[in-house]
Amino acid sequence: MAQADTVTRILDTAEVLFAERGFAETSLRNITSKAKVNLAAVNYHFGSKKALIQAVFARYLDPFTERFHAALDELEAQYAGRVIPLEVLLETMAKTVLDVPAERNSLKVFMRLLGLAYSQAQGHLRRYIQEHYGSVFSRFSDLVRQATPDLPEAERFWRLHFVLGTVIFTLSGLDALRDIAEKDYGEHVSVRDLIRRLRPVVVSAMNAPLPDAPSDSLPAAV
């Protein structure tokens, strides 16, 4: 059995189990027995459980960042210094997110993993993701800044995270929500459907009117 085979089988099995039950709730024995691989192989190839978790993420995020950078390069060339509209930026991101895990049919898995990563309190994973993939997010939010010149800095920061919350929350809880939606409305939704529904909501959210001034600064302002 060649190395690539064992390593790949571990990663394939681990990502599914992690997405289904979380990191702490998935033991190395769960993974290795389902992957039909020796228990010690995980520590042999990855060093530790923590490192395995990071490897699972890297397998999605490395190609994602590569393609996203490429797509942004293309956009910038196309717009040649002019401002890229917000809708185009969001569309590009959505397309990249959809494309990357397409070959493994596992956008759902990827989104659940992202959701888990964010809800992990101790945050070794969040730190890892920020360290390795923070730069592509910075580049994206720079472009969003240019596309929304009227939005105050802080407001844009918060709105980007509001939107991130919507997307990760919805797509990572997709199965549960889909069951309810199907039962109540007899409507089967695919991830593409959901992204179609998300688009106008996200755009409206980013373009919402500014909030009232905080109440304690009202006297000074009025």
Partner DNA sequence: TGTACATCAGTGAACGCGCGTTCACTGATGTAC
Q: Is 8 one of the binding residues for DNA (CB under 7 A)?
A: no
Which of a second copy, DNA, none interacts with 131 (beta carbon under 5 to 8 A by kind)?
none
Side-chain-side CA neighbours of residue 159 (13 Å):
22
Q: From the list a second copy, DNA, none, which binds 134 (C-beta under 5 to 8 Å, kind-based)?
A: none
70-78, 80-88, 94-102, 207-215 -> range binding a second copy (CB under 8 A) = 207-215
Instruction: CB nearer to DNA: give 33 or 135.
Output: 33
Per-position x/- string for 10-49, each x denoting binding to DNA as judged by CB under 7 A, each - no binding: ----------------xxxxx------xxxxxxxxx--xx
Q: Is 107 in the site for a second copy (CB under 8 A)?
A: no
Alpha-carbon gap, residue 108 to 130, rounded angstroms: 21
Size of interface with a second copy, in residues (CB under 8 A) = 61
Shorter beta-carbon distance to a second copy: residue 36 or 161: 161
Using the minimum distance from each CB to DNA, give the nearer residue, 42 or 206: 42
- Per partner kind, with CB cut-offs from 5 to 8 A, the member of DNA, a second copy, none near residue 166 is a second copy
The reply to whether 129 sits near a second copy by the rule CB under 8 A is no
Calpha distance 79→73 (Å, rounded): 10
Q: Does 50 bind DNA (CB under 7 A)?
A: yes
CA gap 150, 191 in Å, rounded? 32
Span interacting with a second copy, options 70-78, 86-94, 119-127, 142-150, rule CB under 8 A: 119-127
Could you tell which of DNA, a second copy, none binds residue 196, using a CB distance below 5 to 8 A set by kind? a second copy
Alpha-carbon distance of 163 to 151, in angstroms, equals 15
The tokens describing 61, both together, are 């995020």
Q: 80-111 in b/e burial notation, b at 16+ Cβ within 10 A?
A: eeeebebeebbebbbebbeebbeeeebbbbbb
CB atoms closer than 10 angstroms to residue 77: 9
Alpha-carbon gap, residue 61 to 14, rounded angstroms:
16
Name the residues that contact a second copy, by CB under 8 A.
Answer: 19-22, 24-25, 112, 115-116, 118-123, 126, 153-155, 157-159, 161-170, 172-173, 176-177, 180-181, 184-185, 187, 189, 193-194, 196-205, 207-212, 214
